[in-house]
Structure 1
Amino acid sequence: MPVIFRSWATLTCESTQTPWRERMDAFLELFSLSGRANRARYIWHIILDDLVVAGMVGVLLFSSFFFLPLPLIAVPAVGIGLAGVWAALAITVKRLHDLDRPGWHFLLLAVPLYNIYLSIVLFVVAGTAGTNEYGPDPLADLYGERRRIG
């Protein structure tokens, strides 16, 4: 009998995988560069990724107060921080895919002044309706079909 798995990304999804495997797939999706991400998912991921990276910087800065050797703290903190940076890069690429742009456009975030424009576009502009070359519409997964306002 298939297991019904409910997540914030889909209302219902029938699966024959175990719940553990479903959660592992969702975790690995954080680091994948394929697919699309809508605005809400992008904003939440960026907030959470920033909190993870800021937490790791805080741990590194305040580790001397706990009299712990720096390598004991630095190695895991740098690893977790790099994973957070990669997850932020991956969600940015997915958001660009939702706007029907190639993922390498994230490099344009390094260009002064254009990075402000691109950041506003990533946060404000709605993704392309329907399926594009990067995958199905992420909002179609939520509502069965795309909802348009106005």
Structure 2
Amino acid sequence: MGVKVLAKFCKKCGSKIDDDAVFCVNCGTKVVSGGSLPAPSAVSANSKGTSLGPDYATKDESLSWWNWRGRLNRQRFILRSLILVPIAIVGGIILSGGISFFVTTAAMSGQDEDAVFGIMFLLLLCALPFILTSAVLGTFISIKRGHDLNIPGWVVVIVSLLGASFFLSIYLSVAKGNEGPNQYGDNPLKWPGSI
């Protein structure tokens, strides 16, 4: 008589899991290796809206502009990038154009150096919100897009710091994301609508 093998079920959502699966295809929860998992309770954690692990993000977290948790599909990544680029350009125009104008004007009129540095400092303060906002939000959307490709956020940040952010952006814009959920959240294609 053969040994009966128990079926494996996800401990979070109750879906049946293949023996060699690393993550549950329904909710993305990491599967315990070796042996079968206990049958789940009638109410899954997903239906309560709770997070399914330290890296797994809810729909609201994924669609939020103000965090790096979750996943973004290609379309949302490109649209958000097209919104952030003009913000960065405005900041750059304020900073570089204003500084060059005031330095040239001060040099031609013979103004005091302290006054010129004061004006440059004020221009920097005016441009800083534009530059910082676009840099922070740009990093967040790049990390989320990387999550859609199952790339950890720290890899995206390091590649950007090494000066390859342009090439990274091109890759993130064209690469197809994981189908179904992964360790960072549900497939972002299932959330139509907002940018």
Where on the TM-score scale, by shorter chain, does this alignment land: which range?
A: 0.5 to 0.7
Residue equivalent to 1:55: 90
Unaligned 5+ segments in structure 1 are 1-24, 144-150
2:139 to 69, 89, 112: 89
What TM-score do you get using the length of structure 1 for normalisation? Answer: 0.65
**Alpha-carbon displacement from aligned partner over 1:22-56 (angstroms, at most 9, x marks no partner):** xxx89x92230101111111112222222111111
**Alpha-carbon distance change, 59 to 41 in structure 1, aligned in 2, over 3 angstroms:** same
Q: Which has the larger radius of gyration?
A: 2
Residue equivalent to 1:35: 70
1:78 to 128, 133, 139: 128
The whole-number CA distance in structure 2 between the counterparts of 1:87 and 1:130 is 25
Whether the aligned pair in 1 keeps the contact of 2:68 and 2:140 (CA below 8 Å) is yes
Q: Which amino acid aligns with 1:100?
A: N
The whole-number CA distance in structure 2 between the counterparts of 1:62 and 1:114 is 25
3-state DSSP class of the match of 1:142?
Answer: coil
The whole-number CA distance in structure 2 between the counterparts of 1:69 and 1:97 is 42
The whole-number CA distance in structure 2 between the counterparts of 1:83 and 1:30 is 11
Whether 2:159 is the aligned partner of 1:108: answer yes
3-state DSSP class of the match of 2:176?
Answer: coil
Residue equivalent to 1:127: 177
Q: Which amino acid aligns with 1:132?
A: N
Number of residues paired by the alignment?
A: 117
What TM-score do you get using the length of structure 2 for normalisation? Answer: 0.51
The whole-number CA distance in structure 2 between the counterparts of 1:98 and 1:134 is 7
**Alpha-carbon distance change, 124 to 81 in structure 1, aligned in 2, over 3 angstroms:** same
**Alpha-carbon distance change, 130 to 92 in structure 1, aligned in 2, over 3 angstroms:** same
Measured on the aligned residues, the alpha-carbon RMSD in Å equals: 3.1
Unaligned 5+ segments in structure 2 are 1-59, 106-117
Q: Which has the higher helix share?
A: 1
2:81 to 43, 46, 51: 46
